[in-house]
Structure formats: structure tokens, C-alpha cells
Chains A and B, each alone.
Chain A
């Protein structure tokens, strides 16, 4: 990645979702991310690819890990990174988002990384600014870099994604991670299942390219990958799910339930985890867990994405 790029072009001005990517676009980004891992593993972790470029992280929803991951990715590519921590409470939606965007645009950044609690916020911003926009999560819509980093993690562990059976378990209804993963994994030829109480599945789920299950026993049977999702605490007090203990009993990943998957199945979680709610500590920290690798791949994927977007812009295509 330091030297002349050996990768095919990435013909996109923004990364707003996995939906707009072709399978070859996805493979392209995964290959680039694989290469970027090397940079992070060197003692000299800085490349000059984005030297002189400005990256602004605009997080309307607080996030420690995603924001630091983007920040580190930018810095390792040599960009100047600025974090705009906008507490979501202080910002009104709609007009104010656009005002913020116009203001930032006037500062002439090269990349804008945005996270927002409203679905479609990243796309709205992309219409208003001249620079590349990376969606770091918009409401319950998409979180493309998370799906990409999950894919790199799986591919490095298993060599391929095509033909694998992946079970995404938990709060599918509210999860942007689930939506991006469903699209990506299908594009690369995996068989995707979702496992959740019916109250946490969106309408039309059976037509979203997945096989829905309500029981972990059925859903995990023969799976190569078990991807757990975070369940927000406020959703567990009798609204969507009656209680933490009932959720853990029927949907929390513990040693007993993991046995139903293929031996050695990968265990993944996008973080931050609720230990003892959706996943038992022994499993999160166990031999089958690749949760730490996911974090490492996060930086690599974000480096790959931002480099690919700016390379495309520089090419003048």
C-alpha cells in the first residue's frame, strides 16, 4: 500500500453502504485491507498516502471504538485528523445537519466520516459536500466498514467466504451491522441466517436473503460463523424482551449453545459486548473468539476504504 497500488480502481466517490458495492468492489476493499494490516504490524506504522489530506470525524452518536479506529486509520495514512464530537442531544436533525455539513465543507476537508442516529443521514450529507463521505453508521440502516472488517476477519481465518454458513444472532431489528453484513455476505456467496426472538426481527426478514430462526439450537446447527449482536439495555426491560435473564437463557451465546454450531466455528461480536447478556465471558474470551482480530481488522479496513476513495478522486475519473 505504501508503493504503487496494485489494486483495481474503486469506482465510488463515497462509501455510504454495502448496498452500492459490487462483489468485485468488496473483494477489492478486502484485498486492500489485507495489505493494510502489514502497515499496522510494522514498528514504523506511518505511510504517506494521505499526507496533507484532512479527515474530519463527525460523530453525532458517541462511539469510542469506531471513532478511534477511524482516527488511527487516518493518522497511519498520514492524514490530518480532526474529531468533531457533536453530542446528538445538542443537534437537531434535518436542517441543522445540513448547516453543519455546509460549514465543514467550507473548511475543505478531503474525507468526512459521519455517524448519525438517523438512517439516511450519511447520504444526505454526501449530497451537500464536495469531499468523500464515509458512513460510520446511520441509524438502523448501514455500517459498511463494520461488515467489511467482519468479512476480512472471516476470510483470513477461513480463506474464503463463499459457501460458509453465517448465523447473525440478536437484535436484528435495530442493527445496522446486521443489515450491512446480510448484504455483504450474500454478495460473496455465504448462506446467511438470523437468529432472534420474533420481537427483534424486522418485517419482511424472510425476503432479505436470510433464513430466520427463533431458536439458537436450530439456527446455529452446522454454522461456520456465529456473529453476535449487542442488545441495548433499554430494550430488555419488558418491551422487546422481558428480561436479561430470559434473553441470556434462550439467546445468549454460552458453551452449551456454541456446541450446536460446527466444531471450531468462529465467534464474532462488533462490540461493545454485554457480557452475560448476549454472550458469556468464557465464550467471548475463548479459543473460538475472533473478537480481538475484528478490532485489528477495523483499522485496516478503514485505511483501505479511505485510501481507495481518495485514489479514485485523484485519478480524475
Chain B
């Protein structure tokens, strides 16, 4: 069995509230020891020793919202190519959205994803099941059979369920199976043909706006249904201060509610759209600077539980179009950690809370292994130089699609090594 000893590392493990200099020993697939106490355990014979002075070790990131093109749009991203990009970003597990062709609404698709991931992927990939058949918002899928096949949580992906009755029944039925309903809320009628945040900027650009209420109204409906049903509800991707307040109220009431935000909405705002740059067309749209600041505050306080990449590969065919005609979405697996570290470097969010939001908490919400460096657990981790500067260049992108909203961005913080079950899947 191969043993690696990472010495003198800053160990950031939110599962144990740990941020200290120490040693991490990886034996085979498992973490054998980790922490300051492990410094005195000595080096097992034949072990590889890595001096990590000035570097950090964190539990591998768990990205709860990743769109992949396989099956159906392999030219944008395959399960294999997404896993390479994830590994480069320090992500050791991700939840794959059911928005594929065909949709992941049947156990055969869950089995396909798990089989393909086992055979081709570098990281752990967990499919989420659709809430409704064909993502059409009407008929519930087989939560029990899908869960037993390996689906983690249920979501209609990019789609919002319009019917309150369908949402009520889904929350109720999912409760019997201990499953989380993750929902992205965007009212179709209020959104209409809107393509960016409603406001002065959209008005000058002559683009149809999307009001914040398009997100807030169905979100508040869902939170009331969560109270009615006692079901576990995850607001998958919120973008406004008002939404964060609604989630905070629900949590204060003791509801089984959690929330996520995409890294884009913590890093960018509507001004980044500039002159119709389609890589900044996102859903929900990039909001105003005050919303971004509200998101950061909510993340710091824990109202927002997790950060997701919302990795959404789009190709020339869907992005080299006039802004309003282009598809929404940006890739994000490779830049998730580096972009999040900006909040640490700016002093806006403590490092421990950041890693919690990127790893420990998503694993806990969706019941996944990972998110911890506890001895005995599987060795999914990332070795990070928190200070190394780098610039995002299109030519370096590993993802099959290049639609990053961080092209040319200067980041501080680079993943040097990623381990999945003790095996090195990325080394810079």
C-alpha cells in the first residue's frame, strides 16, 4: 500500500473546525492521520514525503451543481472531460444535473451515468434525478427507485416547477425517502423574454430585463411549501439580497431549508456584461453590485450554505450569437476555488467558512461521502498554494467548452495536486 506524508501543511478541515499547521498521512485510499497531532507520528517506512510548507490542504471540493453534455451533447462536455476539469479545480466530487438528452428521470439513465463515470471519470460523479418526468413540471419521477439506483437529491435542473401542487407533492413524497429537493426558481411569466438583470443598465442596452421578483416569488412559495410539508428544500442558486433574506427567515423558523449561490454571483455583477458579452449571460442573470455584496454577507453568515460552480458548458453554436439569442451559462469547474479565494484574500469570508461552503456543507446536505480530512475517511483532498498568482487563458482550459466568464482574470490561489481516494488525479 502506498503511503504519502504531507508535512507542514496548513490543514483546513471544516468538518472538524480545524485550521492548523500539521501533517496529513494518506495510506492507500484512506486518510490515516491529519492534523497537528499527526506531526509526531513519524514517517512510515517507504513513504513518499511531500514538504508542504506554505501550502494548504483542504478536503476535495464538492460541487453540487454541474451540467454535463453526456448523454446528448458530448461536443460540449463529456463525463470524462468534465472530470478532468474538475480535478484541475480541486473538485473531487460533483453532482451532475439531470438536464441531459435523454433526461435523468429513469433508473436506466442513473445507471448509465454511474457506469460511464466509473469507467471514464477521474472524480466522483453523482447524478441528481429529475423531479418531474422529462423536466416538464407535471409528473413526479420514481424518487424511491432512482434513489436506490444512486441518484442524490432531485432537481429539475435549469427548469422551475410552475405548479405549486406538483412542488408540494414532490416535497412530501421526497420526505419519505429522505431526499432533498433542489430547485432553481425563476418565474417563467415574469421572466418572459428577459435576458439580464432588470434595471438602468439593461434599459440602456435595450435588453429585456428580469426582475428580482422573478426569483423571489417562486422561492417564497417554495419556502412556504417546505413549511407545509416538512420536506427538505434546497434553494439551488439564488442571486438577490431579497432571496437571501427569505432563506434567512425560513431558517430562523427552523425549516429544513438550505441555499446555494453560484461563484459567478459572488464574483461578478451586471456591469460585466459590458458590450453584450454573451459569456456573461447567466441564469439567474448577474445582478447589481449591491446584490453581489448581499450574497457575500449571506455566505459569511451561513444563510447561504454552499457555493456551486454551476458549470454549464456552451459552445460556439449557442454563444456566438446576439446576446438575447445566446444560451445562458458559463463553465466554472477549473476556476471555482480560485475565484472563491478572492473572498478570503479580500477578508470578506474566512477561509474555513469558504472551504465549508465548497466542500463540507454540500457533502452533508446531499448525503455524499467527502468534505472531510478525518482519519479513516476516503482521501479526497486538494493541495493548494493559496497565494500563487495565475491568469485564466482560453488555451489552458481543459473543459471541452471554453465559455468562461473569467477569461483574462488574475487569480491568487492554485491547485497543485488533487487526490481522489488517495490517487493523484491532477498535478500542476
Using a CB–CB distance below 8 Å, which chain A residues touch chain B? Answer: 197-199, 214-215, 237-243, 245-246, 249-250
Contact = CB atoms under 8 A, between A and B. Distances in A.
Given A238-B132, A238-B138, A242-B139, A249 B176 contact: no
Find the residue from A215, A238, A239, A245 having the highest chain B CB count within 10 A: A238
Q: What 8 A-B pairs come out closest when comparing CB atoms?
A: A238-B139, A246-B142, A214-B176, A242-B142, A198-B172, A242-B140, A238-B140, A199-B173
B175 A198 contact: yes
25 contacts: A197-B176, A198-B172, A198-B229, A199-B172, A199-B173, A214-B175, A214-B176, A215-B176, A237-B139, A238-B132, A238-B138, A238-B139, A238-B140, A238-B141, A239-B139, A239-B140, A240-B169, A241-B140, A242-B139, A242-B141, A242-B142, A242-B173, A243-B142, A245-B145, A246-B143
Given A237-B139, A238-B140, A246 B172 contact: no
B143 to A, nearest CB: 7
Contact of A199 (B138, B139, B142, B169): B169
Contacts of B144: 246, 249-250
Interface in B113-161: 132-133, 138-145
Given A238-B140, A246-B143, 18 more contacts: A198-B172, A198-B173, A198-B176, A214-B176, A215-B176, A238-B133, A239-B140, A239-B169, A240-B169, A241-B140, A241-B173, A242-B139, A242-B140, A242-B173, A245-B142, A245-B145, A246-B142, A246-B144
A249 B143 CA distance: 12
Contacts of A241: 140, 173
A250 B148 CA distance: 11
A7 B363 CA distance: 67
B257 to A, nearest CB: 18
Interface residues of B, number: 16
B231 to A, nearest CB: 9
A242 B166 CA distance: 11
A105 to B, nearest CB: 41
Find the residue from B133, B142, B145 having the highest chain A CB count within 10 A: B142
Find the residue from A237, A240, A242, A246 having the highest chain B CB count within 10 A: A242
A201 to B, nearest CB: 9
Contacts of B140: 238-239, 241-242
Nearest to B173: A199
Contacts of B172: 198-199
Given A198-B175, A238-B138, A238-B140, A246 B169 contact: no
Contacts of A246: 142-145
A240 B138 CA distance: 11
User: Chain A contact residues: over half helix, strand or loop, or mixed?
Assistant: loop
Given A237-B139, A239-B140, A197 B173 contact: yes
Interface in B163-189: 169, 172-173, 175-176
A253 to B, nearest CB: 16
A32 B138 CA distance: 50
Contacts of B175: 198, 214
B261 to A, nearest CB: 30
B366 to A, nearest CB: 21
A241 B143 CA distance: 10
A309 to B, nearest CB: 41
A199 B139 CA distance: 13
B115 to A, nearest CB: 21
B112 to A, nearest CB: 19
Find the residue from A198, A237, A243 having the highest chain B CB count within 10 A: A198
A244 to B, nearest CB: 10
A250 B139 CA distance: 18
Contacts of A239: 139-140, 169
Contacts of B142: 242-243, 245-246
A267 to B, nearest CB: 23
B169 A249 contact: no
A241 B173 CA distance: 8
B353 to A, nearest CB: 35
B35 to A, nearest CB: 40
Contacts of B145: 245-246, 249
Interface in B68-85: none
B83 to A, nearest CB: 30
A250 B141 CA distance: 14
B3 to A, nearest CB: 43
A179 B31 CA distance: 56
Contacts of B143: 242, 246
Find the residue from A199, A245, A249 having the highest chain B CB count within 10 A: A199
A237 B172 CA distance: 16
A81 to B, nearest CB: 43
B157 to A, nearest CB: 17
Nearest to A198: B172
Find the residue from A239, A246, A249, A250 having the highest chain B CB count within 10 A: A246
Contacts of B229: 198
A239 B133 CA distance: 11
A130 B56 CA distance: 88
Nearest to B229: A198
A212 B169 CA distance: 18
Contacts of A214: 175-176
Contacts of A242: 139-143, 173
Contacts of B132: 238
A242 B132 CA distance: 9
Find the residue from B138, B172, B229 having the highest chain A CB count within 10 A: B172
A214 B231 CA distance: 14
A237 B141 CA distance: 9
Nearest to A203: B228
